[in-house]
C-alpha cells in the first residue's frame, strides 16, 4: 500500500475509465459491485430481490462473474433473482454445500441455465484479469469438519497499479488467522470489514498486516445483531483511519485510476470525496500523455 | 387447536440469534435459546405449529433424517457442477 498523498482527481488522469468498487447498501448483508474495462463482477447479492432494482438503476445489464463468498442467506439471498434477471457468464463459490433452500435454488439456476461454475478451491489460476486490473481469488485455508461457514469465505484481492482492496466475506478469527499464517494477505488501501463489523471479524494482527487506509462496513441500519460492534469500530478507526458504513453512508464508492490513485465517495454525500490516496504520482498533475 | 408441520433450516447464528429459513426468501430471527441446545448451522428442524383461538404452540425438534437428506441433495447438485466444470481459470 502506498502512502496517502495530495490528490489529483482519480478519474482525470487515466486513459481507461476508473475501476469502480461499489459497496452496495443492501441492508443487513453484503453486495459489492466491481466494474472495469467493460466487465462487471458482483460479489454477493444481499438478502433480498432488492438487489435487482439496485443493479438496474446502476445500468447493469450483464454480470460477467457472480461470486458467492459463502452460502449464508445475507450473502446469497438475492443471487437467485440476479441469475433470473441478468445474463450471468460465470458463477464462482466456495464449493461447500449448505442445506438451505436458497443455496439449492441458486445452484439449480446455475445448472439449468448452463452458467459455467467455478469452485474457488479448485482453480488452477487464481488471478482474474479485468483490463489492467486483477482480482485474485483466495480460497479459505480453513478445512475440516465442524467449520463455521463464515470461516469458509472466499477472499478477493482487487488490484490496479499500486492500489489494493481486500474483500473477505464473513471471515472470522479462525480464517483471518489462517490467512495471515499463509502470508497471502498483502497490505491494502481499502479493507472490507469482515462479517459486517463484528468483533469476531477483527484481530490486531489482521489490521497490522493489512494496514488499510479506508475501511468499508456493509451493515444494515437497526440490525438485530447490534452490528457494527463498538470495539471493532474503535479498532478500525484507530489513527484517524476513514471508516464508512453502508447503514450511515449508503453506497460506498471507490474509484481507482490507472496510476492507482483512489477516491472514496458515498451515496449520501454525492460528489464529496470522503477519502483518497495512492502512490506518490497522485500528487503530480497529470501529464499531457496521461490525459483522457 | 389445528396442527400443521413445517421444516425450518438453520441458516446461521449471529451472536445470541439464530437465523432460520422458513421458506425460500423467508427467514426468521429467533433467540438461540428457543432452539434445541445441540442445533447447528445447516440443521433441519421439524416444527409442529398448533394454532388455536387464543394461543399458538410451537414444538421444535432437530430432524436428523431431513438434515441428512438435504445434505446429500446439496452435495449431489454441487458435485455435478464440479464434475462438469473441473478446476480451470476464470476468463472474463
Contacting A residues, span 222-281, partner chain B, CB-CB under 8 Å: 224-226
Tell me the pLDDT band of A8, cut-offs 50, 70 and 90.
low
Question: Would you state the pLDDT for residue A184?
Answer: 77
User: Do strands A190-192 and A91-93 pair parallel, antiparallel, or not at all (unpaired)?
Assistant: unpaired
Question: Would you state the pLDDT for residue B60?
Answer: 97
For residue B56, the tally of other CB atoms under 10 A from its CB is 9
**Sign of the CA dihedral with A278 first, then A279, A283, and A286 last:** negative
pLDDT mean over A94-105: 97
- Give the largest Cα separation in chain A, rounded: 58
- How many H-runs (helices) and E-runs (strands) does chain A carry? 8, 16
pLDDT mean over A245-264: 97
Residue B65 CB partners (closer than 8 Å, separation 6+): none
Q: What is the number of residues in chain B?
A: 92
Contacting A residues, span 169-228, partner chain B, CB-CB under 8 Å: 224-226
Task: State whether A224 and B14 contact (CB < 8 Å).
Answer: yes
Residue A93 CA to residue A44 CA, distance in Å, equals 10
The string of pLDDT tens digits covering residues A128-137 is 999 999 999 9
- CB-based contact (8 Å) between B92 and chain A? yes
Beta carbons of B10 and A101 less than 8 angstroms apart: no
User: Which residue's entry shows cell 433450516?
Assistant: B9
Task: State whether A101 and B15 contact (CB < 8 Å).
Answer: no
Question: Would you state the pLDDT for residue A164?
Answer: 97
For residue A156, the tally of other CB atoms under 10 A from its CB is 25
* B26-31 sheet: strands from edge to edge: B26-31, B17-23, B2-14, B44-51, B56-62
- CB-based contact (8 Å) between A64 and chain B? yes
Residue A56 CA to residue A277 CA, distance in Å, equals 30
Closest CA to A166 of A235, A250, A69: A69
Share of chain A above pLDDT 70, in %: 91
Q: Is the pLDDT of residue A92 over 80?
A: yes
Beta carbons of A79 and A110 less than 8 angstroms apart: no
Residue B9 CA to residue B43 CA, distance in Å, equals 6
pLDDT mean over B25-32: 96
Q: Look up the pTM and report it.
A: 0.93
Q: Tell me how many residue pairs between chain A and chain B have CB atoms under 8 A apart.
A: 117
The string of pLDDT tens digits covering residues B54-87 is 999 999 999 999 999 999 999 999 999 999 998 7
Closest residue of B to A226, CA-based? B15
Backbone angles phi, psi at A269, to 5 degrees: -120, 15
For residue B51, the tally of other CB atoms under 10 A from its CB is 12
Question: Would you state the pLDDT for residue A252?
Answer: 98
Residue A180 CA to residue A165 CA, distance in Å, equals 16
User: Which residue's entry shows cell 446469497?
Assistant: A76
For residue A8 the three cell numbers come to 489529483
Backbone angles phi, psi at A14, to 5 degrees: -145, 130
Task: State whether B82 and A119 contact (CB < 8 Å).
Answer: yes
B28 forms beta bridges with B20
The string of pLDDT tens digits covering residues A178-215 is 999 987 799 999 999 999 999 999 999 999 999 999 99
**Sign of the CA dihedral with A280 first, then A283, A288, and A290 last:** positive
Beta carbons of A179 and A205 less than 8 angstroms apart: no
Closest residue of B to A40, CA-based? B92
pLDDT mean over A243-266: 97
Residue A182 CA to residue A169 CA, distance in Å, equals 18
Q: Is the pLDDT of residue A145 over 90?
A: no
Question: Would you state the pLDDT for residue A12?
Answer: 43
CA angle B36, B38, B39 (to 5 degrees): 70
pLDDT mean over B3-17: 96
3-state secondary structure of A69: coil
3-state secondary structure of A265: strand
Measure CB to CB from residue A123 to each of B9, B89, B92 and give the nearest one. B89
Closest CA to A48 of A82, A71, A21: A82
Amino acid at each position: 500500500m502506498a502512502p496517502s498523498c495530495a490528490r489529483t482527481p482519480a478519474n482525470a488522469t487515466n486513459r481507461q475509465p476508473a475501476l469502480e468498487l461499489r459497496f452496495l447498501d443492501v441492508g443487513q448483508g453484503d453486495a459489492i459491485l466491481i466494474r472495469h474495462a467493460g466487465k462487471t463482477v458482483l460479489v454477493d447479492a444481499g438478502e433480498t430481490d432488492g438487489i435487482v432494482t439496485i443493479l438496474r438503476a446502476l445500468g447493469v445489464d450483464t454480470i460477467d462473474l457472480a461470486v458467492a463468498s459463502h452460502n449464508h442467506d445475507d450473502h446469497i439471498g438475492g443471487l437467485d433473482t440476479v441469475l433470473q434477471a441478468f445474463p450471468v457468464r460465470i458463477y464462482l463459490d466456495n464449493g461447500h454445500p449448505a442445506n438451505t433452500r436458497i443455496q439449492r435454488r441458486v445452484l439449480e439456476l446455475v445448472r439449468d441455465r448452463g452458467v459455467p461454475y467455478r469452485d474457488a478451491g479448485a482453480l488452477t489460476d487464481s488471478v482474474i484479469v479485468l483490463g489492467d486490473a486483477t482480482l485474485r481469488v483466495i480460497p479459505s485455508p480453513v478445512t475440516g469438519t465442524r467449520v463455521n461457514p463464515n470461516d469458509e469465505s472466499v477472499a478477493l484481492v482487487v488490484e490496479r497499479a499500486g492500489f489494493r482492496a481486500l474483500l473477505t466475506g464473513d471471515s472470522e478469527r479462525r480464517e483471518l488467522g489462517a490467512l495471515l499464517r499463509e502470508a497471502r494477505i498483502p497490505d491494502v488501501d481499502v479493507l472490507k470489514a469482515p462479517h459486517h463489523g463484528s468483533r469476531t471479524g477483527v484481530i490486531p494482527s489482521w489490521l497490522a498486516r493489512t494496514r488499510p487506509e479506508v475501511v468499508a462496513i456493509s451493515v444494515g441500519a437497526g440490525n438485530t445483531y447490534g452490528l457494527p460492534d463498538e470495539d471493532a469500530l474503535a479498532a478500525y478507526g484507530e489513527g484517524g483511519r476513514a471508516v464508512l458504513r453502508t447503514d450511515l453512508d449508503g453506497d460506498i464508492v471507490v474509484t481507482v485510476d490507472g496510476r492507482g490513485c483512489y477516491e472514496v465517495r458515498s451515496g449520501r454525500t454525492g460528489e464529496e470525496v470522503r477519502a483518497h490516496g495512492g502512490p506518490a504520482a497522485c500528487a503530480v498533475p497529470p501529464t499531457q500523455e496521461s490525459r483522457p | 387447536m389445528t396442527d400443521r408441520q413445517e421444516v425450518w433450516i438453520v441458516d446461521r447464528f449471529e451472536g445470541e440469534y439464530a437465523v432460520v429459513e422458513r421458506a425460500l426468501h423467508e427467514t426468521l430471527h429467533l433467540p438461540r435459546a428457543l432452539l434445541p441446545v445441540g442445533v447447528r448451522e445447516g440443521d433441519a428442524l421439524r416444527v409442529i405449529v398448533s394454532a388455536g383461538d387464543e394461543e399458538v404452540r410451537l414444538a421444535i425438534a432437530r430432524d436428523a433424517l431431513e438434515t441428512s437428506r438435504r445434505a446429500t441433495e446439496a452435495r449431489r447438485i454441487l458435485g455435478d457442477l464440479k464434475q462438469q466444470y473441473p478446476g480451470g481459470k476464470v476468463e472474463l
